[in-house]
Amino acid sequence: MSEFSLWDIAYNLLLAARWTVLLSLTAFVLGGLVGLLLLMVRTAGNPWVIRLVRGYVELFQGTPLLMQLFIVFFGLPLIGLDVSPWVAATLGLTLFTSAFLTEIWRGCVESIGKGQWEASASLGMNFTQQMRYIVLPQALRIAVPPTVGFSVQVVKGTAVASIIGFVELTKAGTMITNATYEPFTVYGCVAVMYFLICYPLSLFARHLEGKFRHVAR
């Protein structure tokens, strides 16, 4: 058993927390880009495309994130694509995030009144112009609070990446516990760090929700 002071434990966990934050940001940004693309093609109205996007969303919403990471990490090498835990975790979380953001944003776009579409169409705008100048700016105000709120789920979802060997906050906690045999202290510190990352995001989402509700009135 190694001797670790409380500072040693906290310091090593802080180093690992950098990877938790980086993985969360990367997955959220890439997932947002993919989600926006899926939203655009789904809203365009082609029935076959709508079915494909709906199937994509239901697939990733209806299966555990852990299974998705396993398929990416162990499945890609079967077709000759060796991926590191970082790449597998990023890809898996990106797909997971994109599915949920697509559905969140779809609801926000559909909340915009039909009259907005008809008015912009009467001005001769095509679909891209309608989305860019009329629909998305209004949907953005509705989408910001749930989008920020979902970012908390992405941060907590990074913990699952420890199963495939990616050393983030949870994995580092397990490694330190194996060295110190102090699980209560170590995982207590892990919980505090997750709280310090997630709680400000929760407060920010709540603040935005209240702010936009007040503006709507």
| pLDDT tens for each residue of the chain, 217 residues long | 567 888 999 999 999 999 999 999 999 999 999 999 999 999 887 889 999 999 999 999 999 999 999 999 999 999 888 999 999 999 999 999 999 999 999 999 988 888 888 888 888 888 888 888 888 888 888 888 889 889 999 999 999 999 999 999 999 999 999 999 899 999 999 999 999 999 998 888 888 777 766 655 5
CA distance 136 to 109: 7
Give the number of domains in the chain: 1
Asked if residue 1 is part of any domain, the answer here is no
Asked if residue 37 is part of any domain, the answer here is yes
Domain at 127, CATH number: 1.10.3720.10
Asked if residue 79 is part of any domain, the answer here is yes
Q: How many Å is the Cα radius of gyration of the chain?
A: 21
Range of the domain at 150: 6-212
Name residues whose C-beta falls within 8 Å of residue 148's C-beta, 6 or more positions apart in sequence: 201, 204, 205, 208
Phi first, then psi: give them for residue 57, nearest 5 degrees: -65, -45
Asked if residue 131 is part of any domain, the answer here is yes
Return the H-helix or E-strand segment holding 67.
helix 65-70
Asked if residue 140 is part of any domain, the answer here is yes
Asked if residue 106 is part of any domain, the answer here is yes
Asked if residue 173 is part of any domain, the answer here is yes
Q: Do 156 and 194 touch, CB atoms closer than 8 A?
A: yes
Asked if residue 217 is part of any domain, the answer here is no
Structure tokens at 100: 């949920």
What confidence score (pLDDT) does residue 17 get?
96
